[in-house]
Amino acid sequence: MITPCNNMRSFKTFALIGLPLTLALNLLALFVFTRPAAEFFSTAWWSVWFPNYLVWSVFGIIGFASRGKNCACLRQKDGLK
C-alpha cells in the first residue's frame, strides 16, 4: 500500500538516480561536446548546471531525512498525535 511515508522515501530514489545522471551529463558536455557552460564553477555553469545539482541535493535531503519509522503518517494511523 502506498502511504505518504513511502512517497517521501521515493525522493531518495530520485536523488540517487538524478545526481549521478546530472554529473554524467555535465562531464559528457564538458569532454565530448566541449560546451563552455559545462566547465565546473564557471559563470555559465552556475545558471545552467547548478540548479540541477541543487534540486537533486534537496531531493536527497528530503529522502534521507524521512527514513525513520517515526513518520507522521504512522502516528496518524495509530491515533497518536
CB 18 within 8 A of CB 56: yes
What are the pLDDT digits (tens) for 9-66? 789 999 999 999 999 999 999 999 999 999 999 999 999 999 999 999 999 999 988 8
Mean pLDDT to the nearest integer, 74-81: 55
**Contacts with 59 (C-beta within 8 Å, 6 or more apart), sequence order:** 11, 12, 14, 15, 18
Give start and end residues of each alpha helix (H) in the chain. Answer: 4-31, 43-48, 50-65, 72-78
Given a cut of 90, is residue 78 above it in pLDDT?
Answer: no
Return phi, psi of residue 41, to 5°. Answer: 65, 20
- Position 4 scores a pLDDT of 65
Crossing angle for the helix pair 4-31 and 50-65, to the nearest 10 degrees: 150
